[in-house]
Amino acid sequence: MEAETLGEFRYVKPPTTPEKTLHSVAPLRALLNQVTSPTRFHMIARDRALALLTQCTGETIWPIDLCIDKSIPKPWIDELSDAFESSFDHDRDTIYFNEQKTNQFHGIRDVDLAAKLGESLGIDVGRLQQQSLGRAALVAAIKEAVMEG
């Protein structure tokens, strides 16, 4: 290895052989992938997560604009958003927007958002999903688990 003196500091040039360079970069690349994985990198502050969770009911689809306004991380929006279709057989299956029936709506179900928030707060949402008998019950269970700590 070559060394240069730069004022008080000594600079050592790294080896230039491809084998040594590949071996030294691989662990750094693995560490970078861990640090920037979506679950680690796109965390949400606990107080923000709690505030959003209190607004979830299990019965609402949030418009994408609202999600952006409420500072939900963009990767979460991309992951959770979907196009939903109304069923006019039962009123509970009909989607309303601005107090009018709509055939299709693009947004995020607040039950999915509550599950994502619960996971980010360390809750075992999978276990709660198995025990809950509906969307509203799941959201209530997530809120209860968060409050129990």
Containing structural domain, residue 18 = 3-36
Per-residue pLDDT 10s for the chain (149 aa) are 555 555 555 655 555 555 544 455 555 555 555 544 444 445 788 889 999 999 999 989 999 999 999 999 999 999 999 888 887 777 777 787 878 888 888 899 999 999 999 999 899 998 998 888 999 999 999 999 998 87
Please indicate, yes or no, whether residues 128 and 90 belong to a single structural domain of this protein: yes
pLDDT (0 to 100) of residue 95: 81
CB count within 10 Å of CB 18 equals: 8
Report pLDDT for 15.
56
- Tell me how far the alpha carbon of residue 122 is from its chain's centroid: 13
Q: What's the structural domain count of the chain?
A: 2
Question: What is the phi/psi pair of residue 74, to 5°?
Answer: -55, -45
pLDDT of 37 reads 43
- Same domain for 15 and 78, yes or no, is no
> In terms of domains, do 97 and 62 share one?
yes
H/E/C letters for each residue in the chain? CCEEEECCEEEECCCCCHHHHHHHHHHHHHHHHHHCCHHHHCCCCHHHHHHHHHCCCCCCEEEHHHHHHCCCCHHHHHHHCEEEECCCCCHHHCEEECCEEECEEEEEEHHHHHHHHHHHCCCCHHHHHHHCCCHHHHHHHHHHHHHHC
As a residue count, the chain comes to 149
Identify whether residues 72 and 141 lie together within a single domain: yes
Residues 17 and 71 reside in one and the same domain: no
Please give the Cα distance from 136 to 142 (Å, whole number).
10
Asked if residue 77 and residue 28 are part of one domain, the reply reads no
Q: How far apart are alpha carbons 124 and 139 in whole angstroms?
A: 13
Contact 134, 107 (CB under 8 A): no
Q: Are residues 27 and 53 in the same domain?
A: no
Read off the pTM: 0.68
Tell me, yes or no, whether 51 and 103 share the same domain. Answer: yes
CA distance 72 to 53: 12
Residues 59 and 11 in one domain: no
